[in-house]
Chains A and B, each alone.
Chain A
């Protein structure tokens, strides 16, 4: 297939300072958990995007000095010569694919807790961080200002030495340069505070110094948040940002424009629950209207038509993507080759971001099971080795996310025949009804992508409306059987708080419901007053609360936790979800756990009440979002009743389970488990994951013994 001519503009080169991007695709800085200390994982992860057609690929935020240490979270670091070596390898790999490498030089100020270095961060004013608790900076005097500007210059030189083509002076997300520009952070009364000119001084001087140091060799990028949605206290487009663009446009080579501060940066990294693609285009256009320099920015773009529109409408010159580049590192190449239905579109769930927010673990992606696995497991999202046992026929029972992924990857690995057998009339499993929860429509991309791929694979056949029992599996004629029958929400109140059922809990009663019963089976929620018990802590409880409150119910959302849906803080969905529930009048009851359900009421007590005082909550209906259980009846019957020997006698040499059938978990992890098994279906023991390469220092005992 060839590129559609209407997308040609995306493939026109563009000059930024002394460098040329070969097309308009730019991977914006984003974290991956690798930093400078896992250089191989870092390099291979970024290089996949360069191989996939990106013209420029950035590091994550890249600390310029030990004073800017974000531990527990993982940033890149350019502190010393060894960091130059480690990040230099990434630059080399990017260059091999014809992509430019960019370093986002970062000084966090009060937001950097310095938990590893134990340094004291410096800031415009001595105000503790609004993002990182208990982190106090020291207020910078003029010597401090010169010192920190020197850090930027030295780090920029190290970036150049490492091979970076683009060097950022990064302000967005409320980091140091933008702190100076923002009254919320800058309470100074000297020439670095007060008026616009004074607040802009630190950033302007820093850009000038970095430009002087490396500007002949590297393009200078400035990333600015053009609205922090904080009223007068925050940076504002008209008052601060457009004047700043005019002030330094001459010395900046490319503008990277977004919105939000750090404490609600979900306004930038927008969950699909609240925002569609291109949410920031009006701000980006405002900058482009007055700047003579190229403007780039993100907008969770996955659709090339919208990318073209962003350029043709004069909003952007360069299409930056973050999450869509994680979900599909080959996005540009697929557009170039006209393979639009092969694009693995980001669903905007922010599970990638959750890993950074948790602090430390490598990123994961719901859509792309290979994200972060490029080096350590050697997985390529688009290339699949033919399996050594490709002459086998495989039966996958259950076409939910894990089963679909597994069947797809087995198909791509060239298994002779893969039969994906599903009890219902279509693929998707739980992802058929989860996207019907409020705001989650884009999550259906999990199903759509796989369905299209499976349809293209001639060796994979989808068989709907067929519920196989153990005998049916045994006699099916497959050499490899994979059970992917998913999971279900507990029907008896079993939960991770008390590790027990709840007296009176029974979803077969008309006034007690599980999420599936409401969303998939159409069971009516009786009456007006609904108590939703959420012991899960992610999206299900709050989504059902929003849905039922929107339908006019009076909803009480009860949890044993201190917050409702704490995981949604990590996915940046929490603030707006709280706003919605508050607006809908949902009553939030935290730190409470039911002691029993009775018709008409839920009896609960405070989890820290030593005397067990009980309180009644009136309820015409109770929704139990307590915990999930594996739907493992078929697996158990095959393993325990039929037995592996009997299966083997039928010619079944491999018998496995994947996804929620093994253990209910994040959809990203369920998909990973299906992918992992398919990738390793031809090892000696496919059930056990192969060890992955660990990037760590290994000491030689003999050498140390001296």
Chain B
């Protein structure tokens, strides 16, 4: 069982935010970095499948510069067998399609039984990379996976729908599955595992032709505060009454 798990180092905003001079990104000084939360679930799921199969390997794959190796090393500390990092300067600030192109090249070469990714990244929140990757690889794709059981050559997959509904599908492998949080409980990495992961070599590759970007960021800004907020007064009982009325009005329309 060979699984490629796509992971991303995400930025998290602190209390304050400033943008870069060209206004196309958040100033990195205002970001803390971590392994994307969804990807830690995807990694755990990959490790579980590998361990249950009894052999095989989990390859953690990321697109990012050298600083992004911290997130990959977290996946390695959890137990991924090796890491591949793809980078060239033209990938800086790349859109999900371009990132998927860079990933697809490596996945093709690895030829895994399964490709896992998080549903989305917590910083960009596009949920597009997984879908694009499946399209580029011409593989079946299931999104928002909450349960995963392997058959022979197929996977039985639970997919989360609105309103608590679950869609159970069977999909041929290899496939690209995007993993939802809560599917498992990601293992922690002991200090020993973290130290060992620091020693693991990461295979760094340059991408081939990345094609034309599908989109680019023109400007990032803090939206102006909206107007028209209705203040409901100070008396708690009156406020509660007014909220009840508003909710009832909205429910009718």
Contacts and interface: CB of A to CB of B under 8 A. Distances in A.
A477 B191 contact: yes
B15 A466 contact: no
A477 B190 contact: yes
A477 B188 contact: no
For the complex, would chain B's binding face be called helix, strand, loop or mixed by DSSP majority?
mixed
Interface string B168-206: 000000000000000001001011111100000000000
Contact of A477 (B15, B16, B32, B195): B195
Contact of B191 (A1, A417, A458): A417
A476 interface: yes
A619 to B, nearest CB: 43
A477 B185 contact: no
B184 to A, nearest CB: 12
Interface in A384-423: 393, 395, 417, 419, 421
A465 B187 CA distance: 10
A647 to B, nearest CB: 14
B177 to A, nearest CB: 25
Contacts of B194: 417, 477
A1 B16 contact: yes
A1 B195 contact: no
A1 B14 CA distance: 11
Contacts of B185: 465
A458 to B, nearest CB: 7
Interface in A428-477: 458, 461, 463, 465-466, 475-477
A417 B193 CA distance: 13
A678 interface: no
Contacts of A505: none
A414 to B, nearest CB: 16
B77 to A, nearest CB: 10
Contacts of A395: 191
A478 B193 CA distance: 11
A461 B185 CA distance: 16
Contacts of A417: 191, 194
A476 B188 contact: no
Contacts of A393: 191, 195
Nearest to A392: B191
Given A1-B15, A1-B16, A458-B32, A463 B188 contact: yes
Interface string A25-38: 00000000000000
A395 B188 CA distance: 13
Nearest to A477: B192
A274 B138 CA distance: 68
Nearest to B185: A465
Contacts of A465: 185
B44 to A, nearest CB: 13
Contacts of A475: 190, 192
A476 B16 CA distance: 36
Nearest to B195: A477
A347 to B, nearest CB: 25
B15 A476 contact: no
A393 B191 CA distance: 7
Interface in B8-23: 15-16
A393 B195 CA distance: 10
B186 to A, nearest CB: 11
Interface string A1-35: 10000000000000000000000000000000000
A618 to B, nearest CB: 45
A461 B15 CA distance: 20
B32 A478 contact: no
A229 B149 CA distance: 71
A423 to B, nearest CB: 13
Contacts of B188: 421, 461, 463, 466
Nearest to A465: B185
Contacts of A477: 190-195
A242 to B, nearest CB: 30
B64 to A, nearest CB: 19
Contacts of B16: 1
A476 B32 contact: no
B199 to A, nearest CB: 12
Contacts of A458: 32
Interface string A476-520: 111000000000000000000000000000000000000000000
Nearest to A458: B32
A419 B193 CA distance: 13
Nearest to B192: A477
Interface of A: 1, 393, 395, 417, 419, 421, 458, 461, 463, 465-466, 475-478
13 contacts: A417-B191, A417-B194, A458-B32, A461-B188, A466-B188, A475-B190, A476-B190, A476-B191, A477-B190, A477-B192, A477-B194, A477-B195, A478-B191
Given A477-B190, A477-B191, A477-B192, 4 more contacts: A417-B191, A458-B32, A477-B193, A477-B194
Interface of B: 15-16, 32, 185, 188, 190-195
